[in-house]
Amino acid sequence: MSPPQRKQRVAVIGSGNWGSTIAKIVAENTKAHPDIFEEEVRMWVFEEDIQIPESSKHRKQLGDQTYKLTQVINKVHENVKYLPGITLPGNVVANPDLPATVKDATLLIFNLPHQFISKTLDQIKGHHLPYARGISCIKGVDVSDGTVTLYSELIMEKLGIYCGALSGANIATEVAAERFCETTIGYDPPPMDLNKPHSAPEDNLIKIDVQRQKKSKATRIHLEPMPQEYPHVDSTLFEDLFERPYFHVHCVRDVAAVALGGALKNIIALAAGFVVGKEWGENGKAAIIRLGVLEMVRFGRYWFPKSVEERTFTEESAGIADLVASCSAGRNFRSACHAAEKGVSVDEIEKTELNGQMLQGTSTAYAVRDFLAKNDQLEEFPLFVSVHGILEGTAKIDDLPALVSKKRTARS
């Protein structure tokens, strides 16, 4: 077989601190692997008028006038608003035009706040290459109306392209500063990508069970094969795209667990915060983490029985490592800890200490509790349900040991 004549072109959709960090990583690697990737990495930026912060080293050069954020990024190679102090490689090119950013990209990396994803996908639709492949770096899952939907699934459905997920113990600013960490990529290539060049007609269909409640409804998506002139898209290619000396990548096929870990950990981090706020010490926190992993596994196995592997939760960065980090340094953990120390509700802490920002963990706890209730599964998830009860004021932190007692949390 002759070597591929074309190269993969990467676009990053989103430019917050995590989006900009991922663009940095990816651009370092497109430069390092010129045989596989086009060097230029386009990054879609939601355009804003900004001023250079006084603390910025670019303030002297650029003064106090107003600029477009994309202009500044392309001029000084720094996202001075969302990732200040970090130099982006020169081959990251900020673009405020979404259709222009995606139009000839073969690899789409999604990295934006989940509340904007749906609208952004509507704007991309019809402008992207039909055979592009995607990776979602969006944390969490959509849990609503008795259904769990992975953002990677939403992307697949709306754009008709195959999409995996990336998640891990990755606090953006620490990764941007090139401090050692790991991440997990979930990518389960569709059969057409595995079998090429001998793919069967049914290989370009991929099935998503979008309704996971009692009345399950599957959606079939027709995928386009990527032309054979391009390097083959598989987990090796994504390792080349994301692996850095300070950012170790493990690839698994279990996309669902990778995405679920990033959502469910926030509920557990609240419980860990409660326990530490009550001064129950490291033993107690460790017990909550352990119980939390078991409920993550159970949740994954129950709703994604065909794809979820337990060890994605127990052994991967997107599972146990992200959970451990969130139970030490995350905002959910700290807020719950403050609430328990002061004897006030988490709601109160959200209002008084977080400048109107909402905690991911509280909304996830409510959504998951609602979801479990609709599916008659409350008894199987005593920790998740207890966290909701504590948030609601119907359960007490002091009752946690009894609520999660081993009679209700046996292995099976």
- List residues with catalytic annotation: 265
Please identify, among the stretches 16-24, 37-45, 155-163, 165-173, the one whose residues bind its own copies according to the rule CB under 8 A: 165-173
Among 130, 281, 305, 343, binds its own copies (CB under 8 A): 281
List C-alpha distances in Å: 57 to 37, 83, 254, 330, 409: 32, 13, 43, 29, 54
User: 181 or 237: whose CB is closer to its own copies?
Assistant: 181
Q: Counting contacts by CB under 8 A, is residue 362 touching its own copies?
A: no
For 186, residues 6+ apart whose C-beta sits below 8 A from its C-beta are 152, 164, 165, 166, 167, 251, 252, 253, 254, 255, 256, 257, 258, 259, 312, 318
User: 280 or 381: whose CB is closer to its own copies?
Assistant: 280
How many of the chain's residues bind its own copies (CB under 8 A)? 49
Q: Counting contacts by CB under 8 A, is residue 295 touching its own copies?
A: no
Q: Closest distance between its own copies and the C-beta of residue 398, in Å?
A: 9
Q: Counting contacts by CB under 8 A, is residue 293 touching its own copies?
A: yes
Q: Closest distance between its own copies and the C-beta of residue 181, in Å?
A: 3
Cα 358 to its chain centre, rounded Å, is 17
- Do residues 9 and 26 lie in contact, with contact meaning Cβ atoms separated by under 8 Å? no
What is the spatial distance between Cα 396 and Cα 390, in angstroms, rounded to a whole number? 6
What is the spatial distance between Cα 366 and Cα 391, in angstroms, rounded to a whole number? 9
Which tokens hold the place of 91?
Answer: 């081959």
Q: Counting contacts by CB under 8 A, is residue 280 touching its own copies?
A: yes
User: 174 or 341: whose CB is closer to its own copies?
Assistant: 174
Q: Counting contacts by CB under 8 A, is residue 203 touching its own copies?
A: no
What is the spatial distance between Cα 237 and Cα 241, in angstroms, rounded to a whole number? 6
What is the footprint of its own copies within residues 7-66 (CB under 8 A)?
A: none
Please identify, among the stretches 20-28, 43-51, 64-72, 401-409, the one whose residues bind its own copies according to the rule CB under 8 A: 401-409
Q: Counting contacts by CB under 8 A, is residue 289 touching its own copies?
A: yes
Q: Closest distance between its own copies and the C-beta of residue 229, in Å?
A: 30
Amino acid in the structure at residue 35: D
Of 384, 37, 26, the closest CA to residue 185 belongs to: 26
What is the spatial distance between Cα 212 and Cα 149, in angstroms, rounded to a whole number? 9
Dihedrals phi, psi of 237, to nearest 5 degrees? -65, -40
Q: Counting contacts by CB under 8 A, is residue 405 touching its own copies?
A: yes
Report the DSSP pairing between strands 141-144 and 181-186. Answer: unpaired
Q: Counting contacts by CB under 8 A, is residue 411 touching its own copies?
A: yes
User: 123 or 405: whose CB is closer to its own copies?
Assistant: 405
Give the containing element (helix H, strand E) for 133.
Answer: strand 133-136
Q: Closest distance between its own copies and the C-beta of residue 133, in Å?
A: 22
User: 24 or 250: whose CB is closer to its own copies?
Assistant: 250
- Do residues 31 and 91 lie in contact, with contact meaning Cβ atoms separated by under 8 Å? yes
Q: Counting contacts by CB under 8 A, is residue 275 touching its own copies?
A: yes
Q: Counting contacts by CB under 8 A, is residue 236 touching its own copies?
A: no
Q: Closest distance between its own copies and the C-beta of residue 310, in Å?
A: 8
- Note the maximum CA span of the chain: 68
3-state secondary structure of 164: strand
What is the footprint of its own copies within residues 313-352 (CB under 8 A)?
A: 314-317, 320-322, 324-325, 328-329
What is the spatial distance between Cα 254 and Cα 164, in angstroms, rounded to a whole number? 9
Q: Closest distance between its own copies and the C-beta of residue 129, in Å?
A: 30
Among 249, 336, 339, 359, binds its own copies (CB under 8 A): 249
Give the containing element (helix H, strand E) for 120.
Answer: helix 114-124
Q: Closest distance between its own copies and the C-beta of residue 18, in Å?
A: 12
Please identify, among the stretches 14-22, 119-127, 225-233, 248-256, the one whose residues bind its own copies according to the rule CB under 8 A: 248-256
Q: Which spans of this chain sit near its own copies (rule: CB under 8 A)?
A: 169-171, 174-175, 179-182, 243, 245-246, 248-250, 275, 279-287, 289-290, 293-294, 297, 310-311, 314-317, 320-322, 324-325, 328-329, 400-402, 405-406, 411
